[in-house]
Amino acid sequence: MAYDVIVAGTGPAGLMTAEHTSKYGLKTLVLEKRKQVTDSLMGELVTDKALNFLRVKPDSEFIGNKFTSIIGESLDTGANIVVDRTLLGNSYLFDEDKCQEIMRDRALSNGAEFRYKSRVKSVVKEGNSVVGVKYNQDEEARANLTVGADGSFSRVSETSGFTHPKWLLSYGYRFKLTNCKNIDPNTAYFYVGKNVGLGYLWLYPRSESEINLGIGRVPSTKTNWDKLPPMRDVLRNYMKTHPETQDAKIESVNAGVVPCSGIIPKFTDAGVALCGNSAGQVSSIVGGGVTTCFHAGQLLAKHAKRIVDAGDFSEKSVRLYEKEYRKSKIASNITNTGKGMIAISKYAMFNDHMEAAEIVLGQLDADTLNKLIQGNAGVATYMGLVSNFLPMVMKIGLGYTKAIAMSGL
């Protein structure tokens, strides 16, 4: 074979995989449909875990900002919860471009080859095994292992025959703003509200005059979605109605899609493995994918080395990556929160989820909110949540049952 590994996609999953497969000495080819790695959004709010995976220090050029408090607030009623410095673990804002560049540069110096403007169309199969990809018009590249890190609408996944019957997508839209006024650079905000829909609006300061303002929303049904104002209008309305952002300038606009219903049923087969959004490896409730992609990419690279060394690209051999992945704490967190997200979206089909969100904002304690945001909530926290919000949990359960009964989903 021409290559040991082909990686499709240069998001956090593909870059982390390529950095490590090349570090292990595997001949790695990376195919990306865009012109350069920094052209696509990577995600930016992370905790220490992501810094550790990336091997960068909190005070380095890779970190755009650090927050000492986080506020969850309702745009409609102003009800809020403050997670202050006494409770907040470490929350950082990555400098996305620099983080993408460092992974690319490490991979390049390890000998990986990058081809841009290379859109993967399908995998190439011999018998039941994937042996490479077709890309652009009629170009072809062959490798022993093909990695589909090509995002939520992965061509590698679809043409390999992987399915995701419960796919639930969160649509995200983000402005990078300059010329803001009186921003407290230490505090990040998460907002819920009627016009936000099933999701949240976020405000992450980069400095006293620069912020990232974004919104992520899950369509519970098309009818519910159509009733909501477009996401960019919700952001523009926020800017207009807040003095800090009334004169702000929109420097850049990004959009993307994140799966939030948990890990897909199967993401490995002979000669092929998925990594990142394509496999549903995203923290489902908050839609955070950077850390989870880093984790999956590193693990996959370790298995790629084993697979290549053994010369065994069979389904059984590649599946060991999936098996070890599913046993990890990150994976069980994704699976549990994914189930929760499916239940909430079904509840929201026929019920007012804002009512539930307001109850949560009114009653949730800051410590619990912090654990959920940081992704380190244990079983005890989830049990506590279930008992504290029993009436609401029952309502969600009933809404879920009703949705299944009425829609047959």
Ligand X SMILES: Cc1cc2nc3c(=O)[nH]c(=O)nc-3n(C[C@H](O)[C@H](O)[C@H](O)COP(=O)(O)OP(=O)(O)OC[C@H]3O[C@@H](n4cnc5c(N)ncnc54)[C@H](O)[C@@H]3O)c2cc1C
The site for ligand X (CB under 6 A) is made up of 8-14, 31-34, 40-46, 119-120, 149-151, 155, 172, 174, 214, 254, 256, 258, 276-277, 282, 287-291, 293
Looking from the CA of 326 toward its CB, the CA atoms found within 13 Å total 13
Torsion of CA 248, 250, 255, 260, to 10 degrees: -20
CB of 404 to ligand X, least distance (A): 28
CB of 206 to ligand X, least distance (A): 12
Judged by beta carbon, residue 218 or residue 356, the one nearer ligand X is 218
CB of 381 to ligand X, least distance (A): 20
Judged by beta carbon, residue 256 or residue 340, the one nearer ligand X is 256
CB of 356 to ligand X, least distance (A): 23
CB 8 within 8 A of CB 158: no
Judged by beta carbon, residue 19 or residue 32, the one nearer ligand X is 32
Looking from the CA of 201 toward its CB, the CA atoms found within 13 Å total 24
Judged by beta carbon, residue 371 or residue 396, the one nearer ligand X is 371
Judged by beta carbon, residue 268 or residue 291, the one nearer ligand X is 291
**CA angle at 207 for the pair 204 and 208, rounded to the nearest 5°:** 105
Going by the DSSP 8-state scheme, the letter that residue 186 receives in this structure is T
Residue 139 burial by Cβ neighbours in a 10 Å radius (0-12, 13-18, 19+):
middle
Residues with Cβ within 8 Å of residue 325, at least 6 apart in sequence: 281, 296, 299, 300, 331
Judged by beta carbon, residue 44 or residue 322, the one nearer ligand X is 44
Find the distance separating the first CA and the last CA of the chain, reported in whole Å.
Answer: 44
Helix ranges restricted to H, 200-328: 222-227, 231-241, 290-310, 315-327
181, 312, 360, 379 from 385: Cα distances, Å: 38, 46, 10, 10
Judged by beta carbon, residue 210 or residue 351, the one nearer ligand X is 210
CB of 44 to ligand X, least distance (A): 4
72, 214, 255 from 182: Cα distances, Å: 19, 19, 27
Residue nearest to ligand X (CB): 289
CB of 142 to ligand X, least distance (A): 16
CB of 255 to ligand X, least distance (A): 6
CB of 104 to ligand X, least distance (A): 11
E strands present in 75-154? 80-83, 91-94, 113-115, 120-126, 129-135, 139-148
Judged by beta carbon, residue 351 or residue 374, the one nearer ligand X is 374
